[in-house]
Structure formats: C-alpha cells, structure tokens
Amino acid sequence: MRPDQRISEALDVMARYKISGVPVTDAAGRLVGILTNRDLRFEEDPSRRISDLMTKEQLVTVPEGTTLDEAKSSSTATRSRSSWWSTSTATSRA
C-alpha cells in the first residue's frame, strides 16, 4: 500500500487476505509506515488517506532471512507496539 491510497483500499486488502495490517511503502519500496486494525478502530471515514492514520514512528524492521523467532525477539526487545515483520521474509526453522 502507498501513503496516498485511501483507507477503503487498505480495508479491502485486509479483508481479502484476512490480515490485520498492511505495510505502507514509498514509491521506491521503502517501508514508511504500517496500518493496522488498531489504527483503524475508531475511524469512520474510509475516504481518508492511509498516511493520515498509519503508524510512522518507531517501526522495527529485520533483515531478509530473519527467522520468525528472531523477529519476535527483536520486537520484544524494543517493546514497540508498531513492530512489523513479514512472514515472507521471516522464515521459520523447524
């Protein structure tokens, strides 16, 4: 998702894929925020821009190849509610 897209578009993606949040990236693909159900809990205007509500501060990222356990540990260490990692880049080692 991009910051200038509408909240309604994010809600559509979240419903389609049954996910609770989406990463927000700039045109170069850099993470600039995250939009979650928590950000949207009290919002009544789906025509607003994602950038109006997305979490922009204290984002925690991990390098590609990071295991899910390592990502969770990083999130716990920072104690940030806005931590995000992708299960496509955080792989589980069984």
For the chain, the average pLDDT equals 84
| Residue range(s) defining the domain that contains residue 42 | 1-56
pTM beyond 0.75: no
User: Which residue's entry shows tokens 């995000």?
Assistant: 84
- The tens digit of pLDDT for each residue in 7-51 reads 999 999 999 999 999 999 999 999 999 999 999 999 999 999 999
* 5 shares its domain with 20: yes
Q: How many domains does the chain have?
A: 2
* 51 shares its domain with 79: no
pLDDT given at position 35: 97
- The tens digit of pLDDT for each residue in 67-90 reads 988 888 776 666 544 444 444 444
* 37 shares its domain with 5: yes
pLDDT given at position 41: 93
- Check pLDDT > 60 for residue 55: yes
32 within 8 A of 26, measured Cβ to Cβ:
yes
Spacing of C-alpha 74 from chain mean position:
16
